[in-house]
Chains A and B, each alone.
Chain A
Amino acid sequence: MATLPEWLRPGARPVSLLPQRATAHRLLRRTLGAMGRSISLLVREPDGPGVGALRTADPRAKLLAAVGLIVATTFLRGLLPLAACLALALALSAAAKVPGRRLLPVMIAVPLASTALLLPATLNIVSGGPPLLVLWRSAGGAFGPWRLPEVVAVTADGLLVAGRMVLRTTACAALALLLAATTRPQRLLGGLRSLGVPQAFVMVLAMAERYLAVLLRSAQELHLARLARSVAPIGVRREEAWAAAGVGAVFRRTRSLADAVTLAMVSRGFTGEVRLLRPACWRRTDWLLVAAAAAVAAGLLILDRRLA
């Protein structure tokens, strides 16, 4: 072996050029956190037996039920039916034991973000209508080049519009999450397969999902290597250059993997025609689930029209 340079030998004095201030790499850590969460969702183990009846239901049935309910939700207008829909989604999540660490971020972030977004819609300036709560009153007139409104007030119409949006987005998010959290992606793909989605499409989607884990791991490695070696912020320009190089590196991995996977498929007899396993038959409980979802959706819609 070649002799080690003196600065690599044990006992060498460290160079004291390190920056005085160690910065927390919040952005890097946040990205890494998001990647880690995605990976763990992808590689999550099969659920233990008996964890909620919703988990064991057929993925096709769940898919139909969830999509049906979400579509129905987008048709609802009244606050009460929307709230009922949200309550149903939350109750089902609780019954299916969706872990709090998955449910809570969504159930906090979505309403909060919607509320923030829609706050201005509660005001008379956007929604019009008679004022309910006057926030600000002025003599009107102009401030420099700007005309000032005489009254800024929260209105009943505005509250209804904003409330409807917040409830609807939250309910939709809760239903989508319920589906994803109670069904492993692989099973969901099986569900798609038997709902008439072309096999080639399902195969590509499945493969995308399969290799997402692999590509995310290499992106995670890039970020970890970066985190391990960097001590100070490097500025927006260089951050962009680094991210772009990372994207380029991931693309190279993408292409070499695609080549290798193609060969592996050909090696096992793939000639271009996709053939997949036929999924299991429908059971009575699966029909029941779909029927129940349809009934709930219909009930909500009828209630909605009655109240309107």
Chain B
Amino acid sequence: MHIPDGYLGPQTYLPAWGVMAPLWSWASARLKRTLSVRRLPMMALAAAFTFVVMMFNVPLPGGTSGHAVGSVLVAVLLGPWAAVVAVSLALAVQALLFGDGGITALGANCLTMAVVMPFAGWWTYRLLAGSSPAGSRRRWVAAAAGGYVGVNAAALVTGVLLGIQPLIARDPSGRPLYCPFGLGVAVPAMAVSHLLVIGFVEAAVTALALAYLARTEPGLALADQTAEGPSSRGLRRLGLSVAALALLSPLSLVLVARFGGGTAWGEWSAGELSRLTGYLPSGFQRLSSLWRAPLPDYGPPGAEGVSVVAQGVWYVVSAALGVAAIGAAVLVLRRLFTRKERDGHAA
């Protein structure tokens, strides 16, 4: 989900920085109020923790592997504002200190992974968890749902950020300057890969890590049981709408089938874009997810006479059929890539 430098134009990444700046200062002001200032190290350690979570690889069906982002877990454990700071710092460490790139896109990456993701996840979790005790099954399920919704909401926003590039930045002859794949490609590609695969990784890691902590540490205090989490009704309502939006994202499939038919060719690759993370090795490990290319021009013949639902069904079916063709290509590329990387290290 990390967007590298070069995929977003200044028209997008500068406003993203603009949105993040007040959010960061608000988050740190909030933390100062709710946590004692002496708890500065907790922020630092939480950032380091988030970075380490991203290094835990989990195998995915189909022989590849992926990793969780961990924002929702941090939000559940320390509160969503703490997650904003911790995940932003982790991304900053990656981009700046490790040279993994994504320096101009840092604002946008923070927006998706350090704001949208923890808050969407947190609100879902709060709604479902209620006031159940820390080790209970309900909380466990709520955390899983939080992880799933959080990562999907972030993926949706990433897809939108990428997808608007060809609309807002073109050269004088009308060619896209940045990410060339439009909304009709980028959004469903991000949505499907996360809805079908990556969302479950995040859900599993969030819920199981929480279950592990509750089991090994009976006195565990979660963010919503301390004073650190927000709980006002307005926030909750806003959270509800974000969660609903995330859950409704499959609808975009149908919408795309209706309006975005002509551009289907690029979809498999935009799906890969989602995993072209700031640091590529782990990005490429996840290359073959379940989202593969639909056959070209999937609209059923005589599209005028066919209902939107039927078109959506065709869309999904064609996506499934595309798996074989593009899967082979992706696998070959992956092979090529891993060998190249090994050579690179040997050199």
Contact = CB atoms under 8 A, between A and B. Distances in A.
Contacts of A113: 272, 276, 280, 283-284, 337
Interface stretch (A12-20, A47-55, A120-128, A289-297): A120-128
B304 interface: no
A151 to B, nearest CB: 11
B45 A254 contact: yes
Contacts of B70: 247
Contacts of A285: none
Contacts of A118: 180, 269
B90 interface: yes
B90 A208 contact: yes
Given A101-B344, A145-B301, A204 B44 contact: yes
A64 interface: no
Contacts of A146: 295-300, 318
A91 to B, nearest CB: 17
A261 B40 CA distance: 9
Contacts of B283: 113
Interface string B200-244: 010011011111110011000000000000000000000000000
Given A75-B10, A126-B266, A164-B177, A211 B45 contact: yes
Contacts of A189: 97
Contact of B10 (A74, A110, A243): A74
Given A109-B281, A168-B6, A208-B45, A142 B301 contact: yes
A108 B344 contact: yes
A100 B347 contact: yes
Nearest to B318: A146
Main secondary structure of the interface of B (DSSP, over half): helix
Contacts of B173: 157
Main secondary structure of the interface of A (DSSP, over half): helix
Contacts of A152: 296
Contact of B55 (A31, A149, A169, A249): A31
A117 B272 contact: yes
B62 to A, nearest CB: 10
A162 B6 CA distance: 12
A208 B281 contact: no
A298 interface: no
Question: Interface size bucket, A side?
Answer: 35 or more
Contacts of B297: 125, 146-149
A258 interface: yes
Contacts of B65: 27, 30
Interface stretch (B100-108, B126-134, B149-157, B247-255): B100-108
B98 interface: yes
A180 B58 contact: no
Interface string A61-90: 000000100110111010000000000000
What 9 pairs across the A-B complex have the smallest Cβ distances?
Answer: A180-B99, A244-B208, A272-B37, A207-B44, A172-B5, A248-B212, A208-B47, A169-B6, A261-B41
8 contacts: A109-B341, A121-B181, A162-B180, A172-B5, A203-B40, A205-B89, A215-B52, A274-B40
Interface of A: 27, 30-31, 34-35, 38, 41, 67, 70-71, 73-75, 77, 100-101, 104-106, 108-110, 112-114, 116-121, 123, 125-127, 142-143, 145-149, 152, 157, 160-162, 164-165, 168-169, 171-173, 176-181, 185, 188-189, 200-201, 203-212, 214-216, 219, 236, 239-241, 243-252, 254-255, 257-258, 261-262, 265-266, 270-272, 274, 308
